[in-house]
Structure 1
Amino acid sequence: MKPFNNHINYIEFKSTDLEATKLFYTRAFGWTFTDYGPNYTAFENSGISGGFEKTENSIINGVLVVLQHKNLEDIKQKIMDLSGTISVDIFSFPGGKRFQFLDPSGNELAVWCETED
């Protein structure tokens, strides 16, 4: 399916042990993984794409829902105009860039876009 603006595109979890996490989800559900360095692994075969980010912190709410949008600057401004708060400003990563925000209730989500190489 072609990605569309504003659709949930990716779900990101936290993990204190990436190897144990991968082993668990592979054996329990048959998910497959692709590592992106020592602190991140992406999963597939789960119904929606997602990943696990390594953390040393206690995990309180370990899920980050990631939306896709073609213009980060436009959607970032719209979020701020609607009383959302930017919690992590726009940053680049291999293949894209994203930012994170808090909605008026304090839920944290992210928005990303692909970058052309």
Structure 2
Amino acid sequence: MSRISFVELPASDLPSTRAFYADAFGLAFTDFGPSYSCTLTGDVDIGLQADASEATAAPLVVIAVDDLEVSLDAVSAAGGVITKPVFAFPGGRRFHFRDPSGNELAAFKAD
């Protein structure tokens, strides 16, 4: 079953942004390299993307799916525009798309 699993935020200053969420809300973050950090609660997690070449301009909602290729076809058939084809990252694979209103989202399948 598909569900929102992540909200990824662009982070121009990863250490201070991570510290803000830790101090303000008690969130614990796990680092995945020098430019990415996220919570790993298993619920809806927060990802902080500090790589300017990978970060989106606005928060990115990431939807967990059971089958990435089926979801890619379904998004396209429903009128979504693929903005970033399927790519791998530590923990899984995903693709980005725009819905008919222009919102950018991602679909994700864990390894």
> TM-score under structure 2 normalisation?
0.89
Corresponding residue for residue 12 of structure 2: 16
Structure 1 residue 80: Cα displacement: 0.6
Deviation digits for residues 62-110 of structure 1 (CA, Å, limit 9, x no counterpart): 2111101111111111111111000110001112100010001100110
Contact 1:65/1:109, CA 8 A, preserved across alignment:
yes
Distance 1:76 1:42, change over 3 A: same
Q: Is 1:32 aligned to residue 16 of structure 2?
A: no
Contact 1:31/1:44, CA 8 A, preserved across alignment:
no
Corresponding residue for residue 91 of structure 2: 95
Unpaired runs of 5+ residues, structure 1, are: none
Distance 1:94 1:108, change over 3 A: same
> TM-score under structure 1 normalisation?
0.84
Structure 1 runs of 4+ aligned residues shifted over 6 Å read: none
Rg comparison, structure with higher value: 1
Unpaired runs of 5+ residues, structure 2, are: none
Distance 1:24 1:88, change over 3 A: same
Distance 1:82 1:67, change over 3 A: same
User: What CA distance in whole angstroms lies between the structure 2 residues aligned with 1:52 and 1:9?
Assistant: 14
Aligned CA RMSD, in angstroms, stands at 1.9
Count of aligned positions = 109
User: What CA distance in whole angstroms lies between the structure 2 residues aligned with 1:16 and 1:85?
Assistant: 27
Instruction: Quote the sequence identity (%).
Output: 37
Corresponding residue for residue 108 of structure 1: 104
